[in-house]
Amino acid sequence: MKNAQGAAIAMNRRNAIKQLGILAGGLSFIPYACSLSPEKVYTNLPTLKKEQQDLIGWLSNNLLPEDVAQFPTPESRQDFVLTMVNDCMESEKIKAFLEGFEAFQTRLAATTSSTLTTLSVEAQKALLIQAYEDQSLSKSLINPLKQYSLLHFESSENYMKNYLDFEFMPGRYLGSVPVVQDLL
């Protein structure tokens, strides 16, 4: 009877060790199976993939360069701009924005055979100037990106405190101000 109980306990230990080994092996593959930067899905922009979101971020950062060291913000410029386009624009303007973005992508594909990041700075500037000079593309894509990039910069805490003299709630505490008792 004792041998049967001892064998059952040994089998349970073996199964437990086996299960722990499988679990540890499975956990070691999670970083390789999962993307480190997840793709954000915006409800009004469901067709934008991660590469396209990065291209919009590149456009907005080239229109107004982001200075994270001096003007830190809670979210990146790309996330802010895409959230504002998703939440604040009307459906007709979102449609025009997406059409302008598709036109920019076709222009980018037609002018270059390589990726955008491998282009020289002069070629990137020429591409942006071309897009800005095209009135329909400028109105539907570049102007909203410029507007929301500027809003992202102006909503940074450093800009609001040091340049606008804005005071966040609850305001300044003035403890040495006398209280007036007689109003008559």
Could you tell me the mean pLDDT of each successive run of 10 residues in the chain, 184 residues long? 58 80 74 65 88 91 87 90 94 93 85 68 81 82 92 89 79 74 62
Please report the pLDDT score of residue 1 as a whole number: 52
Question: Which DSSP string do the residues of 21-85 spell out, in sequence order?
Answer: HHHHHHHHTHHHHS-SSPPP-BTTBTT--HHHHHHHHHHHHHHS---TTTS--SS-HHHHHHHHH
Q: What is the pLDDT of residue 31?
A: 63
User: Can you give the pTM of this predicted structure?
Assistant: 0.69
Torsion of CA 146, 151, 156, 159, to 10 degrees: 90
Contact 69, 156 (CB under 8 A): no
Angle at 148 between CA 71 and CA 135, to 5 degrees: 135
